[in-house]
Amino acid sequence: MSTGELPFAITLDVGSSRANRTGSWRTEQPQYVRHQAPCGRDCPAGEDVQAWLALAEEGDYEAAWRLIVEENPMPAVMGRVCYHPCETACNRVQLDEAVGINSVERFLGDEALRCGWQLPPPAPASGKRVLVVGAGPCGLSAAYHLARLGHAVTLRDAGPRVGGMMRFGIPRYRLPREILDAEIQRILDLGVALELDTHVPDALAAMRDGGFDACLLAVGAQLAKRAYIPAGSAAKVLDALAVLHEMDRGEPPRLGRRVVVYGGGNTAMDAARTAKRLGAEEAIIVYRRNREKMPAHESELEEALQEGILVKWLTTIKRADQGRLMVERMELDASGYPQPTGELEELEADSVVLALGQDTDLSLLEGTPGIEVQDGVVTVGEDMMTGAPGIFAGGDMVPADRTVTVAVGHGKLAARHIDAWLAGRVYEPPPAAAAATFETLNTWYYTDAPQTVRPSLDAVRRSSTFDEVVLGLDAASALFEARRCMSCGNCFACDNCFGVCPDNAVIKLEPPGSYQYEVDLDYCKGCGMCARECPCGAIEMVSETI
């Protein structure tokens, strides 16, 4: 016997479990499915968040970015100003903390700018011309998607610079202008014609005279709401939008050492924080309801408090005089509405800044037949078209939440409906997949990993500069955060089903096709172990009919 030979033979039958077919035992069979992750379902811009996170966690950042820009052309902007409802919906909230989707999106957006990645080229020219009125987030998004579909787009805006409320309503410490400008320029580079300082007094006439085949109205809410406050002749009363607008023009207003901001929304936060940066020793927000009723986003309020902004809850302004302000304490009634108490207090104030909300200028619709306006917004159908054929509307002009992300989503949806209308058809959105709920996940496989905290500028520097406050993640942190995604409802090729099947009925496809695996039903006996052990709920047991 030669060296290395054994005196007996060993036979290992790795397919012993497949010796007899077991398919006839089955009453249920496993089926691979794709469900809609809650993050994507709740994204106002319509991003497939789970899909691009899957690419990011593989380290393929460019592919992840390209998947984002299929829906949203400004991820670096969105990663700074979006209030991320995707994270509120994230299933991981019920395990430890939501995936930091917004911070990963910002990283990808910044990486694209750093690397010079360009947007996909437009389709061949369609011969159709579309006018977009308003160069804010809705108008820019629509222009991008329409240009990609091959239409010639003209973007008109009454302002001196492009960006709308992203530029004139969001301070630099939240959205640096070089980031905004870079992402806008990529859209314009697709061939979008930009006409600034161009007021459109009549939408129908502009469409007709310019030879446009369709028109999208995307005018932002840039008219400040006013409230009657008795004021002495020397009282300095301004509106918040004017203050923020002057800041972007490089003409900072003189607000004085003691500034009172009247209002409770995000604009009020921005006005108070801007006043601090302009040298105010004291910036006080006066709001007539309590914190629970405040419309400002919680993160905005927290950052303002960190910077020393004071808030007087349940308070309203009665009268303004030079250097003084008379306020009254309020209390909420049973319905939650503030009622006066008669208790007065005097505050010192060099200026009062009103931040009571915004309206949209709808004067360009005057005389346009078929367009209906209710409560200051335009009525549109599911196709986002007004009552005037070929005139569509979106963003702040229609009933919806007034956020950048909602406006971007409106621009995309309007573009798809306009494209269909120009072709004489109706756009049909693809049917939504079933929701991937927390109960469908096998969270035993996920270890606790709290969300990565974004770095931020220290409080001392915040008070004297307009440098960006919330900073971005580095590559290692962004990769870690992407890998916290539980891939809800979508297979991520973990091999669990392949490894746990007692009958070796799960076949791993090489190379993968529509799915990574398939089930050999001749041998699957329907035990359901693969479905129970799937971490992401991508396998369901389906009853068989006999």
Predicted pLDDT at 23 = 63
Domain shared by 266 and 328, yes or no: yes
Residue 519 CA to residue 506 CA, distance in Å, equals: 5
With a cut of 90, say whether residue 42 has pLDDT above it: yes
State mean pLDDT over 324-340: 91
d(CA 138, CA 144): 10
Q: What is the pLDDT of residues 234-271, one digit of tens each?
A: 678 899 999 999 998 888 899 999 999 999 999 999 99
In a domain, 429, yes or no: no
Q: Residue 167 has what pLDDT?
A: 94
Least Cα distance to 319 among 347, 277, 296 occurs for 347
Same-domain pairing of 335 and 235: yes
Indicate whether 183 and 155 sit together in one domain. yes
What's the whole-number mean pLDDT along residues 74-83?
A: 97
Which of 357, 378, 401 terminates a domain? The answer is 357
User: What's the structural domain count of the chain?
Assistant: 4
The helices-and-strands tally (H runs, E runs) of the chain is 18, 21
Asked if 261 and 330 sit in the same domain, the reply is yes
Structure confidence at residue 6 as a pLDDT band (50, 70, 90): very low
Burial class (CB in 10 A: 0-12, 13-18, 19+), 161: middle
Beta bridge partners of 63: none
Same domain flag for 302 and 217 = no
CATH label of the domain that carries residue 106: 1.10.1060.10
In a domain, 318, yes or no: yes
Examine residue 151 and state whether it is found in any structural domain, yes or no. Answer: yes
Do 338 and 382 belong to one domain?
Answer: no
Same domain, 417 and 455: no
d(CA 252, CA 256): 12
457 is a domain residue? yes
pLDDT computed for residue 1 by the predictor: 39
Residue 422 has pLDDT above 70, yes or no: yes
Residue ranges of alpha helices (H) inside 343-462 are: 404-422, 459-462
Query: Is 90 exceeded by the pLDDT of residue 207?
Result: yes
Identify the band that residue 19 occupies on the pLDDT scale cut at 50, 70 and 90: low
More confident site: 380 or 448: 380
The answer to whether 68 and 141 have CB atoms below 8 angstroms apart is no
Angle between helices 101-115 and 475-482 (to 10 degrees): 140
- Tell whether pTM > 0.95: no
pLDDT score recorded for residue 228: 78
Give the Cα separation of 133 and 166 in Å (integer). 16
Mean pLDDT, range 51-63, rounded to an integer:
96
Check pLDDT > 50 for residue 57.
Answer: yes
pLDDT at 278: 93
Alpha carbon distance 541, 546 (integer Å) = 16
Could you tell me which residue, 75 or 9, shows the higher pLDDT? 75
CATH of the domain at 231: 3.50.50.60
Average pLDDT, the chain: 91
* Model confidence band, residue 449 (pLDDT cutoffs 50, 70, 90): confident
377-391 pLDDT tens trace: 999 999 999 999 999
Task: Give the domain-ending residue among 430, 457, 482.
Answer: 482
260 & 154 share domain? no
Contact (CB, 8 A) for 130 and 212: yes
Residues 127 and 214: beta-carbon distance below 8 Å: no
Instruction: Tell me whether residue 513 is in a domain.
Output: yes
Rg (CA), the chain: 29
Please state the φ and ψ torsions of residue 349, each to the nearest 5 degrees: -155, 120
**Rounded to whole angstroms, how far apart are CA atoms 311 and 147?**
46
Whether pLDDT at 14 is above 80: no
How far is 215 from 67, CA to CA, in rounded Å?
A: 28
Q: Are residues 235 and 323 in the same domain?
A: yes
Q: How do residues 343-376 score in pLDDT, each as one tens digit?
A: 999 999 999 999 998 888 888 888 788 899 988 8
Q: Are residues 202 and 306 in the same domain?
A: no
Q: Does 2 score more than 50 pLDDT?
A: no
Q: What is the pLDDT of residues 99-140, one digit of tens each?
A: 999 999 999 999 999 999 999 999 999 999 999 999 999 999
Residue 483: predicted pLDDT: 95
% the chain with pLDDT above 90:
78
Average pLDDT of the residues in 322-350: 91
Residue 448, pLDDT above cutoff 90: no
Q: How far apart are CA 25 and CA 23, in angstroms?
A: 5
- Alpha carbon 531 to chain centroid, angstroms: 33
User: In the predicted model, is pLDDT for residue 15 greater than 80?
Assistant: no
Question: Phi/psi at 138 (nearest 5 deg)?
Answer: -70, -50
Strand (E) positions, 185-255? 193-195, 214-217, 223-224, 237-239
Whether 4 shows a pLDDT value over 50: the answer reads: no
| Residue 16 pLDDT exceeds 70 | no
Give CA 469 to chain center in angstroms.
19
Q: What pLDDT shows up at residue 134?
A: 96
Predicted local distance difference test score (pLDDT) of residue 7: 39
Mean pLDDT, range 64-87, rounded to an integer: 97
Quick check: 230 and 319 in contact, CB under 8 A? yes
Do residue 495 and residue 471 come from a single domain?
Answer: no
Contact by Cβ (8 Å): 45, 75 = no
End residue of a domain, out of 357, 372, 391:
357
DSSP letter at 490 equals: S
d(CA 388, CA 8): 89
Q: How far is Cα 437 from Cα 489, in angstroms, rounded to an integer?
A: 8
Query: Using CA atoms, how far apart are residues 303 and 50, in angstroms rounded to an integer?
Result: 29
Host domain of residue 513:
16-34+491-543
Taking the C-alpha atoms of residue 463 and residue 278, their distance in angstroms, rounded to an integer, is 8
CA dihedral 418, 424, 426, 427 (to 10 degrees): -50
Are 332 and 290 spatial neighbours (Cβ–Cβ below 8 Å)? Answer: yes
Taking only the tens place, the pLDDT of each residue in 306-325 is 999 999 999 999 999 888 89
Least confident of 359-373, 395-409, 421-435: 359-373
Same domain, 62 and 81: yes
At 504 the pLDDT is 92
Pinpoint the alpha helices (H) of 149-293.
Answer: 165-168, 177-188, 203-209, 240-248, 266-277
Is the pLDDT reported for residue 178 higher than 90?
A: yes
